[in-house]
Structure 1
Amino acid sequence: MTKLHSKLIWVILIALTVFVGYLYFMPKQTNDSQRGSAAVAVSTAKVETKAMIRSISSLGTGIANNSIALVSPTNDFITELHISEGKHVKRGAIVAKLHDVQERARVTELEGVLEDQKRQLARLKNLATSQATAQSLLDEQQTKVNTTLAQLDIAKAQLAEMTIAAPFSGYLGLRLVSEGAYVNSGTVITTLDDLSVLRVAFSVAEHYLADIKVGMPLTVTNSAYGDIEFFGKVSAIDTRLDPITRTVTVHGALPNEDLRLRPGMLLNVQLELDNRMAMQISEKALVPQQQKQFVYSVDANNVVHQTEVTIGQRIPGWVEILSGLNEGDVVVVEGIQKLRSGVTINQVGS
């Protein structure tokens, strides 16, 4: 029994010795194995200085630079109609005329009355110089002349309303009435749009209000033209925000001499808020730890070192580096999960 216990004790002691030896020699063998094994394959990239463009996207609607509906000012027949649908007209071009016989007759009548009253006024003035007439008669005749002048101005204005002309240069829309038709006051005859410049109206979140300035560049695309980009600038910013959506309406102006853009189009707007040169790295290179940001930088011997960096602005896929790295430094962007400081790497995706 004593011999059995003695053998058991020896077995336990030998096992303990082997275990202690394993704990002592295994780390060394592991380190030797790591040094002798192949380097960790990772993708790297250089820190570079390039344009950092910060922008926001929004959906907008195309609006004509100037746009009106040409309507009939009164109830009457259309005697002339000069509408070439979709054609350009200059300011002052006659679009339509209404029946104006009565208005022209009224103007002619008042012009005759005015001439007669002016002759009488001139005669009274001559008599007044020789004390042959009373001043009250002279004043009364002057009042008649002034009254007739006012009536003539009104008649001429009414006659002018019978001719509907283009108030600005633009493109006529579809003809909505026919020559000879009787129209009521307010009846739309056609539309007129100035398309030389297209405005785009879009909404921007309140968060960006302080960043938006008149004159900022913007880019517009539309599904009708695929990837073709149209360039313009911010022309106006609304003074009020929508209290429900907390957004502000912004207008941009786009040159449109080729008339490819039309009012009512759904436009994809890209507004450029900032464009400056900055030192940048891929966002994938960042290793966040608590409130700090780190990267794995690579030295000349392909050994990585965990380096703390200070970051600035972010744009999709990229981040600005304010401190911690220099231009041209190499950092790991893929395979970070396999690394720790001091590990040798093999750059496979530089």
Structure 2
Amino acid sequence: MKRLVLLLVIAGLAGGGYYGYRNFKAAQVSPARAATNPQASAVPVEVGKIEIASVNEEVQALGTLAADESVVIAPEIAGRVVALGFKEGDRVQKGQELVKLDKAILEADLKQAEADVRLARDTHERSRSLVQRGSGTQVALEQATAQLAVAEARLQLSQSRLALTAIVAPFTGVVGLRSVGVGDYVPAGKELITLTAIDPIKVDFRVPELFLSSVKVGQTIEVKLDAVPDRTFTGRIFAIDPVVDINGRAIRLRAMIPNSDLALKPGLFARINIIVNQREKALIVPETAVVPDGMNKMIYVVQDGKAKRMPVELGKRMQGKVEITKGLNPAMQIVTTGQMRLRDGVAVAIKNSLPPVQTSATE
């Protein structure tokens, strides 16, 4: 039994010695392999190309859409409505007849006024002839002249009143909901319908006074609306209020937006971007490439298979991207993933295929 225990002890010592010897040899071989294969110690990273794009500097504002023109259609004389020349919500043209009032009484007044003018004209001619022959008086001629002038004035009044029975559109626009029907008797000044011109349509908005030197007439704006979320509309500033609002310290601006399909309506809430500057050939990189460096920012680039630390200055931020205004050039190969293990001068192993250089317009 003692021999058996002794043999087992000797066998265990021999096995442990052999295992230790193998680990020792492996530890000696590993540094040699690392020296002959530098890629084994390189930090794996993903790289990308710098995008070249146009960048717009924008000022954001909130505003409200307003009609280019809007009037309430109302009769200037009282009368009974005999015809309507529109349907609610229709687009009408300038000069189109919208409402027609009964004109029977006014036509009779016009005929009477015409007859009065003819009688006054004949009386005036007779008085003038008598004065020329010496058998009439100058007073009678002057009275006839005055009566003729009064008759002609009454004729013009009758013609004007008769013309007011046809109410026409003063400009091209869209009619709203009517508050009158055929057969209604309407007094003078009663509101019948609203006519609104919305092509083009205006947008009124304000920006802080700090941007006074940045906004100008003719600048392009981009408008988005919650009511039309799938579209972006473009317009131009055409008026800037010369007076700064002292309460909000803001500048009032007005822009015009084409609206041929009438998708935009007065009163809608609008989100506005004013394009105050545009930089061509700006350098754009993914946000993932930018690494914080205290209060500053930096990006790792790959040069000769090693990581190089490049301090950068950032410009405009976009969705998933950022503009680099200083520190890079378009030919550089930037690290987009794996920066946490990098140090300046560390060897890197690129694990992705390099995308082509992109050139695009960034909004």
TM norm structure 1: 0.71
Which residue pairs with 1:285 in the alignment? 290
C-alpha separation in 1, matches of 2:231 and 2:39: 55
Give the gaps of 5 or more residues in structure 2: 1-33, 355-363
- Within the candidate set 273, 278, 293, 2:276 is matched to 273
Contact 1:54–1:315, Cα closer than 8 Å, also in 2: no
- Letter aligned with residue 183 of structure 1: V
**Bigger shift: residues 172-181 or 243-252:** 243-252
Alpha-carbon distance in structure 2 between the residues aligned to 1:94 and 1:238: 37
The answer to whether residue 75 in structure 2 is matched with residue 83 in structure 1 is no
Deviation at 1:297, TM superposition (A): 4.5
For 1:97, the equivalent position in structure 2 comes to 100
Q: Aligned with 1:261: secondary structure?
A: coil
Q: Is residue 307–residue 342 contact of structure 2 (8 Å, CA) maintained in 1?
A: no
Unmatched tracts of structure 1, length 5 or more: 1-31
**Displacement after TM superposition at 1:110 (Å):** 2.7
Q: 2-side partners of 1:57 and 1:265: how far apart?
A: 17
1:318 matched to 2:312: no
Shift of the alpha carbon at 1:304? 0.9
Amino acid at match of 1:67: S
Displacement, 1:51? 0.2
Q: Deviations over 1:71-96 (max 9, x none)?
A: 23344433333332222332222222
Query: What are the superposed Cα offsets for residues 114-146 of structure 1, whole Å, 9 maximum, x if unpaired?
Result: 233333444555566667766666555444444
The counterpart of 2:245, out of the listed 218, 242, 246, is 242
1:165-204 correspondence to structure 2 within 5 Å: 165-204=168-207
SS at match of 1:226: strand
1:260 pairs with 249, 260, 263, which one? 263
Partner of residue 207, structure 1? 210
Name the counterpart of 2:303: 299
**Matching of residue 59 in structure 1 with residue 62 in structure 2:** yes
Say which SS state the counterpart of residue 240 (structure 1) adopts.
coil
Letter in 2 for 1:300: D
**Does the C-alpha gap of structure 1 residues 126 and 49 become closer, same or farther in structure 2, counting only changes over 3 Å?**
farther
Q: CA, structure 1 residues 184+336, in 2 after alignment: closer, same or farther (shift >3 Å)?
A: farther
In 2: Cα distance, 1:288 partner to 1:186 partner: 72
TM-score (norm 2): 0.69
* Deviation for aligned residue 1:106: 3.3
Find the aligned partners of 2:144 and 2:213 in 1 and give their Cα distance.
Answer: 66
Partner SS state of residue 171, structure 2: coil
Secondary structure, in 3 states, of the residue corresponding to 2:193? strand
Find the aligned partners of 1:90 and 1:203 in 2 and give their Cα distance. Answer: 33
CA distance in 2, matches of 1:215, 1:39: 55
The residue type paired with residue 57 of structure 1 is: Q
Say whether residues 1:152 and 2:150 are aligned partners: no
Amino acid at match of 1:186: G
Letter in 2 for 1:319: E
Change (3 A) 1:183 1:310: same
Indicate which of 107, 110, 116 corresponds to 1:113.
116
Question: What SS does the corresponding residue of 2:330 show, helix, strand or coil?
Answer: coil
Aligned residues: 315
Percent identity over the alignment is 26
Supply the distance in 1 between the matched residues of 2:111 and 2:324 (Cα, whole angstroms): 78
Q: CA RMSD in A?
A: 3.8
